[in-house]
A and B are shown apart, each in its own frame.
Chain A
Amino acid sequence: MSSELINLTLRVWRQSGPDSPGQFDNYQLNGVSTHMSFLEMLDVLNEQLIESGQESVAFDHDCREGICGTCSLMINGQAHGPDTATTTCQLHMRRFNDGDTVTIEPWRATAFPIVKDLVVDRSAFDRIISSGGYVSVNTGNAPDGNAIPVAGSQQEVAMDAAACIGCGACVAACKNASAMLFVSAKVSQLAILPQGQQERSERVVSMVSQMDDEGFGSCTNTSECEAACPAEISVSNIARLNREYLRASLCGRD
């Protein structure tokens, strides 16, 4: 595959801190190889900014292979950009054309306050997991692995849900900034597996309550979250979460 060079206009959200006002700044970036990843393109921008004495654009990133969930970015209004099932770090510039204007914004949600520029605070997700997203088993307590059989098909459904990378794209894509897809992925994984049965009711009630306390919005079933999700978490998990919640509410806690 031969590489092409394209020229872009970048409209980037700049904001110096959580309480400062922010604005879009425009940058012209020329000679971008179409083989670059989107974040490598931002690296090039930052090198140029530093060389010209301007502070670089802050953005979150780490593994750059689509699994850590650190990178984010609304790209032309789409969470993680135009490709389906793809994180921003796996998005490549061959997806863009010479002369394009690309608008880059942070995740926007009350529960994800902006730290700086494109960086947001997603610690609300950690607090939701803390409230019940686990099996309470201390180290050393486990029976033999094969003593807990899990049918292959059941395991596959649990793994589909467990694949969530916790990036927050579902929240960013949702007009209500709802975190239902994130919460439902963990609730589903553990509700499907036999290991999660003991705390099944308590878990879903606590996690939903924590989600509400964090200021995430309500789910109105528009499925924008599923469309944006780089890990292809299905909205059927939200349906399962609703069933689990109803079950826990009607039958009471375990």
Chain B
Amino acid sequence: MVRVASETLNSRVPEGPVDQIWDKHRFNMKLVNPANKRKFSVIVVGTGLAGGSAAASLAELGYEVKSFCFQDSPRRAHSIAAQGGINAAKNYPNDGDSIWRLFYDTVKGGDYRAREANVYRLAQVSNTIIDQCVAQGVPFAREYGGTLANRSFGGAQVSRTFYSRGQTGQQLLLGAYQAMMRQVQLGKVQMYARREMLELIVVEGVARGIIVRNLVTGQLETHTADAVVMCTGGYGNVYYLSTNAKGCNVTAAWRCHKQGAYFANPCYTQIHPTCIPVSGDYQSKLTLMSESLRNDGRVWVPKNAGDSRTPAEIPDEDRDYYLERRYPSFGNLVPRDVASRAAKERCDAGFGVGDTNLAVYLDFRDAIKRDGEDAIRKKYGNLFHMYHKITAEDPYKVPMRIFPAVHYTMGGLWVDYHLMSNLPGLFVLGEANFSDHGANRLGASALMQGLSDGYFVLPYTIGDHLATSQLPTVPEDHPACVAALQSAKGRIDQLLSVQGTRTVDSFHRNLGQIMWDNCGMARDKAGLESAVGQIQELREQFWKNVRVLGNGESFNQSLEKAGRVADFLEFGELLAKDALHREESCGGHFREEHQTDEGEAKRNDEAFNYVAAWEYHGVGEESTLHKEPLSFDNVPPATRSYK
């Protein structure tokens, strides 16, 4: 039985009409006097779109910022790999878009499990993000006349996605990175690269600092500040194979959780429909082929199971364009969760293609015939090149083979309307928080959210916290700092002292398999219960038998990985338990027990119309469930239909 807290969570969403509350609230929040801002210091962990934009914007306002990343340079955060684009409600194409429509599409796309007020603010701010990025020199695609170009993405019937070829994330991230490096030059941001956050320092219930490990020297460092901002991305690598970078991890967020921050909706994971399929046991990661390809590519499988002809030999009448068949109005541009499940359904039914029969075709034949190879190369050249490199097949000539893969995680640390966690002073931005995408994120919305949080939300809300809190100086020898340092050190010593026989990666692969088999695209009670048991057993094995060589006082990549996998082994259990408790299907969370006759997700709004935020009580202990009830006053919940 799940232990449920008696009081519901206070999201601090102000009263009033949804389209006015952000403006009004910006007036109501307390300000920090310009001359006083330099007296406040802020720690920002992570330098992706959220972290980079937050660090730059806070420093521009005058705060003293310390920025941290585990990569060798802040420019390498995984936002850089986002391909397709960023949404905004500019309505430049004159096709009927508006802030309201972006808001509506996002709430609906999230299967009515997001907080309306946050989503509306996101849609409102979206246009300003484009302006800001253009001003920074981000080379967005342009029409011949020089105006900004748009393309379409899943879950929307308007073209609202701005892009830079297939490298939109790279260009937006470099924009934020450059803005931040300018502040480094001005002395307002101190940059600490190759640092991994290992503990959160909490003083009298308020987040006041972090412990990091210098990954080059192995030294543990204590950093204190007036507020801590977590921009540490998602936890997709709990599945081992995902489209995330190898270094992406849950450690920073999990450390916050263990210090009292609630973790919300961990079971909402996004499986992206168009990735290059797994080819062998040695596989270390999966590569995404951007959703934008579904603008021109058509998804199909042979109508006859086991059809061994090459794709070119299969005539149209023997092809099943199953997305166009099942969803005539959205066709190949249905949202990700729907497209992924449809691919799984076809493969499970025996229609999959390729060596493993776990793939479907994404075919550009018709688009190339219509627009010419050059036009397609101009739009997707780098993606086609990457596909060719990895598979040794030329997608201009043969259709791509694709299969769904773990890509993004909608769940994350719980935050209120200020993006502050239940731990005062701890702010959480971007993919690391849970707030805006509900149970499924629409394509081209992650970049929008990361930049919205960092450029245009946090700079206002953090001021209110700093202006209204008593924040006495925390010296580095404060008992809370010493305890956090000891805890981080203890864990490293523990990892090094096991001296077992199995490598860290072998445990990680094992965990990933458990998660994918039982908490993947489709879940059921028995599978989830078994997953919980298997994870507990694996965790026990890990602490008895992991082999981490070398020492803690040097550059030691095995040790880095071991710490991350140890946290995934705790976190995975929470993910499975959250999925087990949510007896409904919504967005990326598909419980096989809860589906319509046509195999679509079936929500249970009576019982589960809430955010599930979990409070930690110890490894293996049952967490307490805190509910934040959701209300949909502007976008009335309906069964999502893309037919």
Contacts and interface: CB of A to CB of B under 8 A. Distances in A.
Contact of A56 (B75, B80, B137, B558): B558
A193 B139 contact: yes
A62 B178 contact: no
A203 to B, nearest CB: 11
A66 B145 CA distance: 32
Contacts of B487: none
Given A144-B131, A151-B142, A159 B390 contact: no
Nearest to A57: B557
B351 interface: no
A70 interface: yes
Nearest to A149: B146
Interface string B159-192: 0000011010111001001110110110000010
Given A33-B282, A115-B555, A61 B76 contact: no
A29 to B, nearest CB: 12
A37 B12 CA distance: 49
B78 A62 contact: yes
A202 to B, nearest CB: 12
B130 A62 contact: no
A195 interface: yes
Interface stretch (A119-127, A172-180, A215-223): A119-127
A119 B131 contact: no
B148 interface: yes
B148 A145 contact: yes
A248 interface: no
Contacts of B27: none
A94 B391 CA distance: 10
B386 A90 contact: yes
B498 interface: no
A116 B386 contact: no
B139 A162 contact: yes
Interface stretch (B99-107, B221-229, B308-316, B546-554): B546-554
Contacts of B174: 162
Nearest to A33: B280
Contacts of A62: 71, 76, 78, 245-247
Interface string A121-156: 111011001110111111111111110111110010
Interface string A181-204: 000000001100101100000000
A63 B73 contact: no
Interface residues of B, number: 84
B73 A146 contact: no
A40 interface: yes
A106 interface: no
26 contacts: A1-B391, A1-B393, A35-B280, A36-B282, A40-B283, A47-B506, A56-B549, A56-B557, A63-B246, A64-B285, A65-B288, A70-B76, A86-B389, A129-B177, A129-B181, A134-B136, A134-B179, A139-B179, A140-B456, A152-B142, A155-B142, A158-B137, A162-B164, A162-B171, A195-B137, A196-B137
Given A33-B282, A47-B503, A148-B135, A139 B56 contact: yes
Nearest to A90: B389
A206 to B, nearest CB: 9
B505 A47 contact: yes
B74 interface: yes
Contacts of B132: 137, 139-140, 142
B78 A68 contact: yes
B60 A138 contact: yes
A44 interface: yes
A204 B83 CA distance: 29
Interface in B526-582: 547, 549-550, 554-555, 557-558
A129 B146 contact: no
Contact of A50 (B144, B455, B558): B558
B134 interface: yes
Contacts of A61: 246
Interface in B255-284: 279-280, 282-284
